[in-house]
Amino acid sequence: MGIPVYLAWLSVVVFIVMVIYRFSKFNSMPLHLRWEIYPLPLEPKHHYGGSYMEELDYVPKPRHHIRINGILDMASEVFLLKKVREYNIYGMWPFSFSMHWGIYLLFVWMILMLAEGVLNLGVIAPVTNVCGIIALIVGTFGSLGLLLKRISNSELANYTVPVDYFNLLFMLSIFATGLISWITTGQYFFDDARAFLAGVVSLQPAAVSSWTVAHFTLFELFLIYMPFSKMLHYIAKYFTIDKVFWDDILNLKGSSIDKKITSQLSGKLTWSAPHIVQGKNWAEQVGIIDGRDIK
Amino acid sequence: MANGRLRIKDISRPGDDPLVFMNMSELMPVPNLGEEPSIEPTPQKFIDKYEMSLDGHCSIGIPKPKTKEEEDHLVRRFLSGLEKLFNSEESWTFQQALRLSFDYCVKCQTCSEACHAYLASGRQEIYRPTYRAEILRRIWKKYFTPEGKLLGRFVGADVDVNWRTVTRLAELGHRCTLCRRCAQRCPMAVDNALIARELRKLFSQELGIAPMEILEKGCVQHLRVGSSTGLNPPGMLDTVAFMEEDIGDRIGKKVKIPIDKKGADILLIHNAGEFLSWPENPEAFAILFEAAGISWTLSSEPVAYDAVNYGLWNDDVELARVAARHTLAAKKLGCKKVMIGECGHATKAYVVIADRVLTGDLSSSEIQRESCLPLLWEIIRSGAIKFDPSRNNFPVTLHDPCNMVRAMGIVKPQRLALKAIAPQFREMTPNSVYNYCCGGGSGYAIIQSFNFPQWRNKAGARMKMHQTLQAFKNELDPNKVPFKYLCAPCSNCKGTIRDAITHYGLWDKYNLNYGGLVELMVNSMVDIDRPFIEYEDFH
Ligand code: SF4
Ligand code: SF4
């Protein structure tokens, strides 16, 4: 019984370290050329998709971003999966929405249980329990639904590789073991879950039902696995949206962007098409008309 | 769904048989289109010589390898290019954006329904925005990642690279107009257009493989001769003289076109295709700018009299070379600003994409770069010129160039202008940032080789023709409404639209014509006593 308890600590550490590592990896990639896309929520003219480039002499004019619009836009994606709801023709939204809320609520449930134990907040126990049950029900529904959808729809199946099924099965197994545990042990399930977590906090494993142990162990394994998998897309998505799709910042002489780009332009190229001269840096390449004149 | 059973792995299938061939009965139905030319089979002489096994069409014309050595060479170079694509130094330009798009697609296919080509083709699997991206992803996994080498098929590392994979992929990279409508809809912010663009970059920068019109007759000729059209500096001066004469004939007044005028506020650069195909467009600019008292000039410096920048679609090095020369020409003349005429891709390439190529003294704080559309609206708004909208009293609709709306957020100026000068202006649906591509984006407008125009007309431009016919659906009868105008303030879009209207016979059937925004403006100028638009002329 001790392993899941120690694994819990390990999983939290791996999860946090890996998420930070991945975040910093994405963050340290070279500054890219502008590639924004409209409508750009941070833009004051966002409501019709406009930008500062609609104005004459915009370069010296002050420009500003409306951060709150960005936050609201991201929130509508995170919490409502708006684009899937509006544009996905394969009927994935109810399942995807449920699975995502299953995950959010699962985290909330665990945190609430920890808060109850550590901060002596027994009074919120009914809310905690409801949160847990909803998480398990909608999570099971969503992950099972997505799994079946991907298997049964040939257009989706064509693009789904075994690891994608594995990921969904993994999710399903977490939710389903919790759900089974609740169904089979009833009210004791909540006591078990709290006892398990108390055991984790105190490093003194408690005796709980095997379904509950399975549920928590799978969740811990999931925390370890997730940062290595595509399920880390919430971090990647933040970067693509905020740093690529919403990056409309002009390059002005002497700015930090200017300095970064200037240093990136000093990198040498080894592309081997005839019009490029291998071994010359970007700045040198730009001065050449055609690589064939030099070779 | 057509060809539903086409698998990702089929890209490596041996043999000349195309993975798919568009079928008339599966094409997206277009109300009011009437009779249309049928799809011609692939000529055998092409099949014998060139790579045609993707979809029986071809934009590049890659000769089939004749020896095993040639086959291996293609594979080797492709893989080495793919490696460079993911190298931060070699390919910093879009590294972060590409990496994120590459690794985090959840394959929900939400993007598919956004794609005009996929829909118009009758949902052919190979034109799905995710198809080419998924192939590339699986190849990358198989050849370059530890998990792919270790776990193989389990993680999707299951596409083999043989010469067919390479040549088909080169073509498949050219079945997406880079309009980014799919990216706009992706819940993960995955950009399949960028993946297609980077795939093309791999071919251009590593293998020198690209449609002839884009690389050799495009960028290379642009840099060597001065323009992708082949127009050299003396030719440019002749063109200006011709335009001055033509303006006199058209409006009965003399207008001097300033060229190489030192210290002018604005260096105006047109897509040089305008000079050859639609000289009335740069002429209209000259008339408007002179009448509005704007300080401006054209340049006769090589490269700087042609705004196009085809590197935008496939080659960072060529992109940088062209953009730098545009800016250096402006510096030489002492202009404060470079303005791009009615050309979407040239505007985006120069104003947005090149923004982080042009550093220090070439940066935007030193030489400003703008689209022409805000100034055109300002000319109307400020009252600098008097317009009589009743002169444009015919149905007008607007095609938004993707590069100006979705990629730049320039949405209102062209609408405000049309509302002010065209009383029968109506939007097509969808429009503005959610518009559909004309079908000629990313260079397709200029690719006339092999049988590619057939693909462009049937799959590329079909959706735009559908939208246009819908916009005019109550006025199609040429006897009742003798003239309709599809306004497309973009040279490339106009090229595509011209070919599509011709292909579908819409000028003959409905008197449906097309043109830019400035022509409509000059057509309604109070100070000019005759129409500028030639109502009987389709060209
Ligand atoms: S690109 Fe985006 S919308 Fe398309 S399948 Fe991938 S995640 Fe879904
Ligand atoms: S960029 Fe446009 S043409 Fe290309 S796949 Fe996306 S929607 Fe289709």
- Is the predicted pLDDT of residue B269 greater than 70, yes or no? yes
Pairwise CA distance, residues B150 & B305, whole Å: 54
Say how many Å lie between the CA of residue A84 and the centre of ligand 1.
10
Q: Which residues of A touch B338 (CB under 8 A)?
A: none
pLDDT in tens, B271-315: 999 999 999 999 999 999 999 999 999 999 999 999 999 999 999
Say how many Å lie between the CA of residue B444 and the centre of ligand 2.
13
Q: Is B193 in the pocket of ligand 2 (CB under 6 A)?
A: yes
Contact A87 B113 (CB under 8 A): yes
Q: Is B110 in the pocket of ligand 1 (CB under 6 A)?
A: yes
- pLDDT value at position A294? 81
- pLDDT value at position A4? 86
Pairwise CA distance, residues B237 & B283, whole Å: 14
Q: Is B180 in the pocket of ligand 2 (CB under 6 A)?
A: yes
Contact B365 A252 (CB under 8 A): yes
Torsion A44-A45-A49-A52 (CA) sign? negative
pLDDT (tens digit, 0 to 9) for every residue of chain A, 295 residues total? 588 889 999 999 999 999 999 999 999 999 999 999 999 999 999 999 999 999 999 999 999 999 999 999 999 999 999 999 999 999 999 999 999 999 999 999 999 999 998 888 888 999 999 999 999 999 999 999 999 999 999 999 999 999 999 999 999 999 999 999 999 998 899 999 999 999 999 999 888 999 999 999 999 999 999 999 999 888 888 889 999 999 999 999 999 999 999 999 999 999 999 999 999 999 899 999 999 988 6
Give yes or no for A157 touching B (CB within 8 A): no
- Is the predicted pLDDT of residue B5 greater than 90, yes or no? no
Q: Which residues contact B274 (CB under 8 A, 6 or more apart)?
A: B281, B282, B341, B342, B343, B491
**Ligand 2 atom closest to residue B441's alpha carbon, by position in its atom list:** 3
- For residue A257, give the chain B residue with the closest CA: B356
Contact A269 B90 (CB under 8 A): yes
Give yes or no for B353 touching A (CB within 8 A): yes
Contact between B193 and B133 (Cβ < 8 Å): no
> Pocket of ligand 2, candidates B128, B175, B180: which has the most ligand atoms within 8 Å of its Cβ, to mutate?
B180
- pLDDT value at position B1? 44
Tell me which amino acid residue B431 is. Answer: N
Q: Is B189 in the pocket of ligand 1 (CB under 6 A)?
A: no
Tokens of B259: 């060229």
**3-state class (DSSP) for residue B4:** coil
For B377-408, give the secondary structure using H, E and C: HHHHHCCCCCECHHHHCCCEEECCCHHHHCCC
Give yes or no for B432 touching A (CB within 8 A): yes
Distance from CA of B488 to the nearest CA of A (A): 17
Pairwise CA distance, residues B379 & B361, whole Å: 30
Distance from CA of B474 to the nearest CA of A (A): 27
The DSSP call for residue A153 is -
Pairwise CA distance, residues B276 & B404, whole Å: 23
**3-state class (DSSP) for residue B511:** coil
Tell me which amino acid residue A92 is. Answer: M
Q: Tell me which residue has tokens 């009437």.
A: B34
DSSP-assigned states of every residue in B457-510: IIIISHHHHHHHHHHTTTS--TTTS--EEEE---HHHHHHHHHHHHHHTHHHHH
Mutation for A interface: B159, B188, B313, most A CBs within 10 A: B188
- For residue B403, give the chain A residue with the closest CA: A37
Q: Which residues of A touch B337 (CB under 8 A)?
A: 57
Torsion B135-B141-B144-B149 (CA) sign? negative
Pairwise CA distance, residues B171 & B157, whole Å: 22
Q: Which residues contact A187 (CB under 8 A, 6 or more apart)?
A: none
Pairwise CA distance, residues A1 & B139, whole Å: 43
Q: What percent of chain B has pLDDT over 90?
A: 99
Tokens of B299: 């340049």
pLDDT in tens, B184-240: 999 999 999 999 999 999 999 999 999 999 999 999 999 999 999 999 999 999 999
Torsion A167-A169-A172-A174 (CA) sign? negative
Contact between A158 and B8 (Cβ < 8 Å): yes
Q: Which residues of A touch B104 (CB under 8 A)?
A: 230, 232-233, 236-237, 240
Q: What are phi and psi of A184, to 5 degrees?
A: -80, -30
Contact B154 A162 (CB under 8 A): yes
Show the CA angle centred on residue A195, arms to residues A191 and A197, nearest 5°. 120
Contact B374 A55 (CB under 8 A): yes
Q: Which of B422, B418, B535, B425 is nearest to B482 (CA)?
A: B535
End-to-end CA, chain A: 70
Of the partner residues B130, B155, B223, the one whose CB lies closest to the CB of residue A289: B223
What CA–CA distances, in Å, run from B187 to A24, A50, A75, A119, B155?
Answer: 23, 21, 12, 38, 22
Report the predicted TM-score, pTM, of the whole model to 2 decimal places: 0.96
Contact between B267 and B301 (Cβ < 8 Å): no
Residue B368 β-bridge partners? B337
Tokens of A50: 């406009």
- pLDDT value at position B382? 98
Tokens of B335: 């202009």
pLDDT in tens, A97-131: 999 999 999 999 999 999 998 888 888 999 999 99
Interface of A with B in 239-268 (CB under 8 A): 239-241, 243-245, 250-254, 257-258, 261-262, 264-265, 267-268
pLDDT in tens, B400-455: 999 999 999 999 999 999 999 999 999 999 999 999 999 999 999 999 999 999 99
Residue B514 β-bridge partners? B486
- pLDDT value at position B3? 45
Tokens of A221: 């394994």
What CA–CA distances, in Å, run from A180 to A172, A195, B39?
Answer: 12, 18, 58
Give yes or no for B187 touching A (CB within 8 A): yes
Q: Is A254 exposed, middle or buried (0-12, 13-18, 19+ CB in 10 A)?
A: exposed
pLDDT in tens, B461-472: 999 999 999 999
Show the CA angle centred on residue A16, arms to residues A12 and A20, nearest 5°. 170
Q: How are strands ordered across the β-sheet holding B425-426? A: B425-426, B396-398, B484-487, B512-515
Show the CA angle centred on residue B476, arms to residues B471 and B481, nearest 5°. 110
Q: What are phi and psi of B486, to 5 degrees?
A: -95, 110
Say how many Å lie between the CA of residue B176 and the centre of ligand 1.
15
